Amino acid sequence: MFKKIVIPVFLTSLLTIFMSIPAYASPPRIIYSLYVQLNGAPIESDSTPPYINTATNTAYVPLRVISEGMGQSVSWDKNKQQVTIQSNDGTVMTMTIGSTTAYVNGEAKILPSAPEMPFMRVMVPIRFVSEVLGATVNASAKDGATYVDISFKP
């Protein structure tokens, strides 16, 4: 008798819960329709494409691709999960995976979003890193994609 009542009630409850969750409840976390150019030339990543994290509406690019593309040197401290960019003009920027605090020449700066490492590659907020290194960043949307143009004069 107990099984005849409890099982149908349990199944009906589960069905009601799942039916009440809208199909659009979870938007994609990452959008890959992001195209990045540095001084008019497309930036190509060897394995990890740039993307937009929809949770924070932040465009990310592989750190080495953008930094080394601008002629800067990059180092990685695996133990601290920390990257350091040394620019040609002497600017030193340090960022830690998961932290929204970056240090530029020792001064704390708040990042719009923390650096991520979703694919065993350090991904950084493209606008923050580019502008700290002295570049101008312009973003536009067209045909369902986002285009980011970075202008940098070494």
Amino acid letter for position 117: M
For residue 127, tell me if it sits in a domain: yes
The confidence score (pLDDT) of residue 140 equals: 92
For residue 45, tell me if it sits in a domain: yes
Q: Would you say residue 96 has pLDDT above 90?
A: yes
As a whole number of angstroms, the distance between CA 57 and CA 84 comes to: 24
Mean pLDDT calculated for residue range 76-100: 95
Round the average pLDDT of the chain to a whole number and report it.
84
Q: What is the sign, positive or negative, of the torsion defined by CA atoms of 69, 70, 72, 78?
A: negative
Model confidence pLDDT, tens digit, residues 32-81? 888 999 999 998 877 789 999 988 889 999 998 888 889 999 999 999 99
Strand 101-104 with 51-53, pairing: unpaired
Distances (CA, A) of 57 to 32, 37, 61, 126: 12, 19, 13, 12
Collapsing DSSP to helix, strand or coil, 11 comes out as helix
Domain of 60, CATH number, reads: 3.30.457.10
For residue 136, tell me if it sits in a domain: yes
For residue 7, tell me if it sits in a domain: no
